[in-house]
Each structure stands twice: as structure tokens, then as C-alpha cells.
Amino acid sequence: MFCALPVGSYEQHGPHLPPTVDAEIAEHVAREVAERLGGVPLPPVYYTCSAEHSSYPQTISVSCESFVPYIRDVLRSAADKCLRVVVIVGHGGAWDAVSMVARQLNYEMGPRVMPVNLWAYIGARDHAGSDETSVYLAVGGRLAGRVVETCEGDARLMRYMRVDRISRSGVVGCLRESEVSAERGAEMLRRALERLLAEVGEFLRMQV
């Protein structure tokens, strides 16, 4: 048995997307993984480390210092009940914390927790730009506002500075209406899931 736990955020995604984007996408992927491989999908974790977006009104964030012990307890309990836990991390700001905690728990308990950096599989080039917006539409998401074409900042800089220093709109990278479609997002997800399912299958075959 295994459980699939989505980890997202509640943070700004420009003027056209709701703050729950990361959690909704992660939840969709967690359901797909659980359904195809015989697991149990868990409800998402919404409030995580989003300090890079904290100057925007649509963001509710916790410090990573608070998040680390919390997610450790969640994963330890989930591993106790589910045997294995696949953590679908849909928010880049939470990835380092989840990855570190998973590694520590695995050293202690054996291969029980597999953290997945979802955006590394999808290969999106932006935050709230054409790629992320397309993926969100592909999982059934709805726009919260009008798509206004913009190119601001570089998504790689989000590891090093607050978003308001590189983007006024909250979009990091390029948002182009001609590039936004559910069909394009679905193809990005299809490729990501193909690789992800193979790797999760390998993890589940490991002896505990």
C-alpha cells in the first residue's frame, strides 16, 4: 500500500490565476499516480513556505523553520499508516524542505518516502506564465482573471530573491495568450506522468 500526498501553496499567481494553483495541480497528479498504481490519494497541504511571494495580498505563507517539523510529523504519520508515501510537491519553495525531511526519514526508516519535484518533471519555464497556466487549465482549473500578455523576470531568480523585485504583476517569465491552452498543458502533463509513474513504480518495488 502507498499514499500520494500533494504539497502545494497558497500564493499569488499573477492577476489571472487563483492562489491554490500549485496545490490543485499537485492534487491532480497525486490522484493520477494513486489511481494508476493502486494507492490512496491524500488531501493536499496548502500552507507552506512562500516567503518569496509574501508582498502580494493573495499569499499566506509560513516560515520554513515552522514548516519543516510540521511536514516531518505529517510524513512520519503517513508512512506509519500507509507504509510508503509519494509526496507530489507542486510548489518550488517547499521542495528543499520536503526533500530534506524525506531523506532524513528514509535514513531512519528505510525507503518509505519518495519526494517528487513536480515542476522538474513538467519542465515549466515560468511562474504563472504560459506553461504553468496551460498545465492548470489541463487539470480543470479556471482562470480568475484576464490573461494579459507580459514578460517579467527570470524564474531561476526565485531561489534567490523576492518576486516583487523582479515582477510587478507576479508573473515570472512570459505569459502569452497564443501559448496558453489546456491541450498544450495536457501534453506537458502526459510526458511528465509517463516518466513519473515509471520512477514511482521502481520506488514501490524496493524492499522496506
Give 113-124 pLDDT, tens digit per residue: 999 999 999 999
What range defines the domain where residue 121 resides?
A: 2-205
Whether pTM exceeds 0.95? yes
Residues paired with residue 45 on neighbouring β-strands, in sequence order: 7
Q: Are 89 and 116 in contact (CB under 8 A)?
A: yes
Q: Are 82 and 41 in contact (CB under 8 A)?
A: no
Distance (Å, whole) CA 137 – CA 160: 28
Give residue 15's pLDDT band: very low, low, confident or very high (50, 70, 90).
very high
Distance (Å, whole) CA 75 – CA 87: 9
Angle of helix 182-205 relative to helix 21-37, nearest 10 degrees, comes to 50
Q: Are 105 and 113 in contact (CB under 8 A)?
A: yes
Q: Does pLDDT of 208 surpass 80?
A: no
Give residue 166's pLDDT band: very low, low, confident or very high (50, 70, 90).
very high
Domain total in the chain: 1
Q: Does pLDDT of 107 surpass 90?
A: yes
Q: Are 72 and 28 in contact (CB under 8 A)?
A: no
* Contacts of residue 182, Cβ cutoff 8 Å, sequence gap at least 6: 134, 137, 138
In single-letter form, the type of residue at position 39 comes to G
Residues paired with residue 151 on neighbouring β-strands, in sequence order: 174
Across the chain, where does the E strand assignment appear? 2-7, 40-41, 84-89, 113-117, 150-152, 173-175
Phi, psi of 166 (to 5 degrees): -125, -5
Residues paired with residue 172 on neighbouring β-strands, in sequence order: 127
Segment 177-184 shows an average pLDDT of: 97
In angstroms, what CA-CA distances link 126 with 40, 57, 59, 92, 109?
A: 30, 20, 18, 11, 36
Q: Are 22 and 100 in contact (CB under 8 A)?
A: no
Q: Does pLDDT of 175 surpass 80?
A: yes
Per-residue pLDDT of 40-78, as tens digits, reads 999 999 999 999 999 999 999 999 999 999 999 999 999
For residue 183, the domain's CATH number is 3.40.50.10310
The alpha carbons of the chain give a radius of gyration, in whole angstroms, of 17
